[in-house]
Amino acid sequence: MGYLVIVRHGETDENRDDTVFAYANPKLTALGKRQAKATGKYLSKYFTFNTVISSNLQRAIDTANIIAKEVRFKKAITIDEDVREGKEGPMLTSKKIDDLESLPNGKKIKRIFDAGNALDIMEIIGPNNKNYKLFDEWSRLTGSETSDDMRVRCKRFYNRIKNNKGNTLIVSHGGWIVFFIELLSKVNTYGVGN
C-alpha cells in the first residue's frame, strides 16, 4: 500500500448546529462543498490515487465526488458501509442532559451523564470523549454501536484494503476516523477530536 489519506466529510447544517445525527443523511452546506473542493485542490498537488473509498452516507459521497474531480480520479468511487459513522441511537437536537429523560430509558441514560460529571451530551458520546465505559453504557441503553462494534468494523475494513496498490483516499466521518486511527496507531485516541 502506498499512502493512506483519510478525510472527514465537509460541513452539514447538523455539524454546524452541533446536532448528533450519525446515520441521518444531511447534505453538504455551501461551506462543506468549498471545504471538499479546497481539500481536493490541496491533495492534487501531492497525490494521485489508485483507490477512493467513501462511506455510504450522502455527505461523505458528495465530499468524495468533489475531491475526486479535483484530483482527476477517473475510476468509480468505492462505497463501503464499514467506513460510515457509528450508529448513535436517537437523533439529538438538544445537548442538555436534562432533556435526556424524555428518551426511552431516559432516567438510566441521565445517570450515565451524572456519573461522568458531564456538562453536555457530547462529553460522553462525542469524539472528545475520554471514557469508553460511559460511551458503551450509552450505546447499550440507546441501541447504538459500542466502541467494540466500531473497532470490529474498522479492523474488517483495514483487512480488506491493506494490500491495495498505490495511494488510497478514504472519505468518512469524525467518529469513525477516531476509531480507525486508534487501530492504525494501536493507541487510544479519545481526546484527539475530529
Number of neighbouring beta carbons within 10 Å of residue 113 = 20
Return the pLDDT at 22.
53
- Which strand (E) or helix (H) includes residue 78? strand 78-79
Gap between the Cα atoms of 126 and 128, Å rounded: 6
CA–CA separation, 45 vs 29, rounded Å?
25
Q: pLDDT grade, residue 178 (50/70/90)?
A: confident
* Integer Cα distance of 145 and 135 in angstroms: 9
d(CA 34, CA 183): 30
Give the model confidence (pLDDT) of 47-84 as tens digits. Answer: 999 999 999 999 999 999 999 999 999 999 999 999 99
Domain 4-86+150-185: top CATH class: alpha beta
Range with lowest mean pLDDT among 33-47, 114-128, 160-174: 114-128
pLDDT tens digits along 6-20? 999 999 887 666 555
What residue segments make up the domains of the chain, in order of their start? 4-86+150-185, 97-142
pTM for the full model?
A: 0.79
Question: What letters, b where the CB count within 10 A reaches 16 and e where it falls short, cover 132-151?
Answer: eebbbbbbebbebbbbeebe
